[in-house]
Structure 1
């Protein structure tokens, strides 16, 4: 089985998958693998179930590390998560990384009908349950934003997969995680030289996240003000969340995460709905970042 930290490589791709059918997913995997990216990350929301989708992605790729970003701990019990992780790695050459997260109240209470517990105790208990289900050393990382969840990630897992963050957060996360840990950071990119158009695309992409307290609280910790997070987000906020402009400017922004301590950056192209050609053009332009 490959060592996940080494196999993960430098650059990956993060993409929402629920609106892609089997043919679309296969095409995207072929593109990503052909461009030399080392990993593919996908979320779990209202559509595809995480483990089943992971199996499909692994079966339709040959070299890519595949990672959940994230699998919701309220979607399956800890025993099932551990055995699913073990199964996918046993059947697909150790290419799966289980990214776990506590998700958000609407996705837990509103959608699934569970009670949303305090994040740190809930995640700690879940990791305890996974350990009881199997002692194999398997790659688990946490969707950690705040210091306490990052500390838990450092103590109990291979590392962290922060989402919607800045290089300043990356530096803080790297310090808390310490050496030898995975710090796989998602970063939105928009290869659109017209700043107004890029910001409009960024606001549309970020709108669903700006109502969720876990993200809002982290942005406030990072120094953004409530005023900057109101009415779709200030220009400064949008520019920080979505790297935009030409290829050189976006690559410079990606390098800032590595300079801050990221071990891996997952690029998420921000394009108009259904613009698969634009998504693939962005991935091609940034593959050597």
Structure 2
């Protein structure tokens, strides 16, 4: 498993037992819902004013976090800090194959000095097809966490989460981070993940949402998004562990799989489905809205609708 740092047994400010840091304050800051967005990490110069305004709108709508999708970095979060006041800015995720741990720690320290308590470092080992010099992802993640611990100043374990899917990486999320930020998962998966993590660590999955109550068009939109991901071995293997088959994974997903992975339908149905994810063990849902147009601009009307749908909904 690699070298591990000492584990706190009774750290102040939280109730978490040995095996990881207390995360009560982080859970409170995140709240039950955040927005997961590739659009808000865009580096297109023409989009920057729109992105900053959209980030402020997300905060004003009451979401607790902005998760910057894709291979995001500290600089993407720092870009939004000036236009927001208190929303948590998280990477979902920073790809450990592309950014040196000591550089990340230094960038994080700079952001912490200017905007203390605002940043959450989401780390992921990505996929072999998308990484540089991909090798032994679990061991490499352990080494990366060791480097974050050894940096001056270090990145505290309670301010980082791992994009875990399999049991070993979930265990590492429990022992060396605040918890897990899994992607493309079902409520059934969350029940299993919570069993590995235990009751205290943060479980903050990405949840895909299509705001369309027509089953045929909603599934078509979902498949336009899912097809790419279902072809990646890590996601396919995780879904097969849950009992899905090659037939379910083919052609961008069977109806059964699409309906398990993507929240869609009427307002009441969406409300019920989000409750299922929370009841399965999630502390916080990072909601990613997918639209039929695939527009690269922030989907503000959909985020406003989600804010209304999630108002008052807690775990």
**What TM-score, normalized by structure 2, do the two folds share?**
0.84
Q: Secondary structure at the match of 1:162?
A: coil
CA contact 1:37–1:287 (8 Å) conserved in 2: no
Counterpart of 2:61? 35
When the two structures are aligned, how many residues end up with a matched partner? 281
User: Is 1:285 equivalent to 2:308 in the alignment?
Assistant: yes
Partner of 2:36: 14
Instruction: Report if the CA contact (8 A) 1:4-1:95 is conserved.
Output: no
Where 2:27 maps in the other structure, the secondary structure is helix
Aligned match for 1:181, one of 192, 201, 218: 201
Separation in structure 2 between the aligned mates of residue 162 and residue 281 of structure 1, nearest angstrom: 24
User: What do the CA deviations read for 1:184-229 (whole angstroms, capped 9, x no partner)?
Assistant: 1111111211100000000011122122111111111111111110
Are the counterparts in 1 of residues 209 and 288 from structure 2 also a CA contact under 8 Å?
yes
* Residues 126-165 of structure 1 mapped to structure 2, 5 A cutoff: 126-133=144-151, 134-135=153-154, 137=156, 139-165=159-185
Residue 223 in structure 1 maps to residue 243 in structure 2: yes
Please tell me whether residue 67 in structure 1 is matched to residue 90 in structure 2: yes
SS state at 1:230 partner: helix
In the alignment, which residue of structure 1 is the partner of 2:126?
103
Identify unmatched segments of 5+ residues in structure 2.
Answer: 1-23
Contact 1:97 1:140 in 2 (8 A): yes
Q: Which residue of 1 aligns with 2:26?
A: 4
Q: Report what 2:79 is aligned to.
A: 56
**How far does the alpha carbon of each residue in 1:132-152 deviate from its partner, in whole angstroms, 9 at most, with x for none?**
113463501000000000001
- Indicate how the Cα distance of structure 1 residues 136 and 239 shifts in structure 2: closer, same or farther if over 3 A, else same: closer
1:237-259 Cα offsets, whole Å, 9 max, x none, are 11111111011111111111211
Selected match of 1:210 from 230, 241, 263: 230
Q: Distance in 1 between matches of 2:232 and 2:50?
A: 29
Q: Distance in 2 between matches of 1:269 and 1:179?
A: 28
Task: Identify if the C-alpha distance between structure 1 residues 129 and 97 changes in structure 2 by more than 3 Å, giving closer, same or farther.
Answer: same
TM-score relative to the length of structure 1: 0.91
Aligned residue number for residue 243 of structure 1? 263
> Structure 2 CA distance, aligned partners of 1:72 and 1:277?
27
Q: Which residue of 1 aligns with 2:9?
A: none
